[in-house]
């Protein structure tokens, strides 16, 4: 039987107190709904239907890269009504898995089990909670067979004592949904069409309803407010850290690591506390990332070290490089093997040659630099004239003395030498020394000022 997945995502999420539709709030840098869509895809369904309502267009626009059948539920009349909207597009001989767009941490193994149990009739994912408040409770007969779900608001005092709850996730043959959903009414406290009501109807029709239990409470945690969003975020990050550690990555504190995208690591990588990884980050063998670093879309080759407090964005870092502490590498920075970028150095669109050093307090932007260059402290490439950006080319083996101002467009050829404190505006030829600073005068016998008014 083929599998079709329906993801419910039409609710507003009032308790988020946000203008953003709830399912677009991010966990690990990705919308909640995207997590659910990706989980759904892992199950190889023949179709994924997402039921949208509140902010529907915004939700669709946020996830253009997925092959989704979007279903609009104009009015949110309940979970049963929501699934009904998707039914016309669902093949009769499929099994349907219903997921929630705001429940992103469910494990694949759990969902596979649920689908496996739903080949002949509905199957429900339940959990037993110490505090079942707010959830629909599972009703069973004396033999333990599941007979239905009662919502908290409709439950008797006795039923509210039940601790087995409906996680909301269920699977059922499409034929069962098509048979029972149209018969579900809204005669209840909330005036809604309840999806779990199909279970009662199925049982009345002589069917057995299967159930599976979620491994942990976190697996079924739904996001209704920002406290739960944070719980989900921390659990998601904990899982990422655990997965990396199992792959051999050293992590100083799993609770102080944030991956908002994908992080791929080689062997013997070490990550110190409070590192944040965004977008796609790749760390080669033996790479070390210091405390409080932010790396966004960065590729770091084997043996390089990113020292503490560095912000690295859109950069490619070669082998055995050293960056920071306190470095800022902006997009378009490429470090060849063995390059060194030190503290309080900013780079942008800069190719730094092999074994070249920019160790202190410099700005290197729109620059092509050869190998074995030394850039002294306080060097600035003046790349911007107020209108256009210009390039600085620095040949191999060049030495730039401290506090030099390199006014682009500019070329300093191989082995050129710039004396400290120079403002360089024209080409420095191969092996030449450029000095452009006021000559030093020493004045003998001058009078040092004494303290004014000292005799008053």
Residues lying near ligand UD1 in the complex (CB under 6 A): 8-11, 51, 73, 76-79, 81-82, 100-102, 135-136, 149, 151, 165-168, 194-196, 222
Cβ atoms of residues 55 and 79 within 8 Å: no
CA distances from 447 to 255, 393, 450, 455 (A): 64, 46, 9, 18
The end-to-end CA distance of the chain, in Å, is 104
Cβ atoms of residues 255 and 275 within 8 Å: no
What does DSSP say about strands 363-369 and 299-300: parallel, antiparallel, or unpaired?
Answer: unpaired
Burial class from Cβ neighbours inside 10 Å (0-12, 13-18, 19+) for residue 381 reads: buried
83/341 with CB nearer ligand UD1:
83
Q: Specify whether 360 is catalytic.
A: yes
Cα 310 to chain centroid distance, Å, stands at 19
Give residue number: closest CB to ligand UD1. 136
Least distance between ligand UD1 and beta carbon 194 (Å): 4
Cβ atoms of residues 314 and 295 within 8 Å: no
Q: C-alpha angle 20/255/244, rounded to 5°?
A: 95
Least distance between ligand UD1 and beta carbon 224 (Å): 7
What does DSSP say about strands 137-140 and 30-31: parallel, antiparallel, or unpaired?
Answer: unpaired
Structure tokens at 176: 């069962």
Quick one: which H or E segment has residue 295? Answer: strand 294-296
78/353 with CB nearer ligand UD1:
78
Query: Which of 25, 49, 360, 390 is flagged as catalytic?
Result: 360
Could you count the other beta carbons within 10 Å of the beta carbon of residue 315? 24
- Measured on CA atoms in the order 25, 26, 32, 33, is the torsion positive or negative? positive
Structure tokens at 68: 């989704």
CA distances from 354 to 135, 298, 299, 335, 343 (A): 61, 18, 16, 7, 19
Cβ atoms of residues 423 and 407 within 8 Å: yes
Cβ atoms of residues 87 and 181 within 8 Å: yes
Q: Is 192 helix (H, G, I), strand (E, B) or coil?
A: coil
Separation between Cα atoms, residue 71 and residue 55, nearest integer Å: 13
CA distances from 75 to 54, 79, 82, 86, 138 (A): 9, 11, 9, 14, 27
Q: Residue 230: which of 218, 242, 216, 213 has the closest Cα?
A: 218
Least distance between ligand UD1 and beta carbon 291 (Å): 38
Residue numbers annotated as active site: 360
């Amino acid at each position: 039987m083929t599998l079709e997945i329906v993801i419910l995502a039409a609710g507003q999420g009032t308790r988020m107190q946000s203008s953003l539709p709830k399912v677009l709030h991010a966990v690990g840098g990705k919308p909640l709904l995207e997590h659910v869509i990706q989980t759904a895809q892992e199950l190889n369904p023949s179709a994924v239907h997402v039921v949208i309502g509140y902010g529907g267009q915004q939700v669709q626009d946020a996830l253009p890269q997925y092959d989704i059948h979007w279903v609009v539920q104009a009015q949110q009349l309940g979970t049963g009504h929501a699934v009904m909207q998707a039914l016309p597009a669902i093949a009769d001989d499929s099994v349907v898995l219903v997921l929630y767009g705001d429940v992103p941490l469910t494990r694949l193994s759990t969902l596979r089990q649920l689908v496996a149990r739903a080949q002949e009739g509905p199957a429900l994912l339940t959990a037993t909670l110490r505090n079942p408040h707010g959830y629909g409770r599972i009703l069973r007969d004396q033999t333990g067979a599941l007979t239905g779900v009662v919502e908290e608001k409709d439950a008797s005092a006795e039923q509210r004592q039940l601790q087995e709850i409906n996680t909301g996730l269920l699977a059922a043959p499409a034929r069962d949904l098509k048979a029972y959903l149209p018969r579900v009414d809204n005669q209840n406290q909330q005036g809604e069409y309840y999806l779990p009501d199909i279970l009662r109807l199925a049982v009345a029709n002589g069917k057995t309803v299967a159930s599976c239990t979620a491994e942990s409470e976190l697996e079924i945690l739904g996001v209704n407010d920002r406290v739960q969003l944070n719980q989900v975020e921390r659990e998601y990050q904990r899982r990422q850290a655990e997965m990396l550690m199992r792959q051999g990555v050293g992590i100083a504190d799993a609770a102080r690591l944030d991956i908002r995208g994908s992080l791929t690591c080689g062997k013997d990588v070490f990550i110190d506390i409070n590192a944040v990884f965004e977008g796609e980050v790749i760390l080669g063998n033996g790479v070390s990332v210091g405390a409080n670093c932010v790396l966004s879309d960065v590729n770091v080759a084997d043996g390089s070290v990113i020292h503490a407090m560095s912000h690295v964005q859109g950069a490619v870092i070669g082998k055995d490089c050293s960056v920071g502490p306190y470095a800022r590498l902006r997009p378009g920075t490429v470090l060849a093997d063995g390059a060194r970028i030190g503290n309080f150095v900013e780079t942008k669109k800069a190719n730094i040659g092999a074994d070249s050093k920019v160790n202190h307090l410099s700005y290197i932007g729109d620059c092509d630099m050869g190998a074995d260059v030394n850039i002294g402290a306080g060097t600035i490439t003046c790349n911007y004239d107020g209108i256009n950006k210009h390039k600085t080319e620095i040949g191999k083996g060049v030495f730039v003395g401290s506090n030099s101002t390199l006014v682009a467009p500019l070329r300093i050829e191989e082995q050129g030498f710039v004396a400290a404190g120079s403002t360089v505006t024209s080409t420095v030829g191969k092996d030449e020394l450029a000095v452009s600073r006021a000559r030093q005068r020493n004045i003998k016998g001058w009078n040092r000022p004494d303290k004014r008014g000292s005799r008053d």
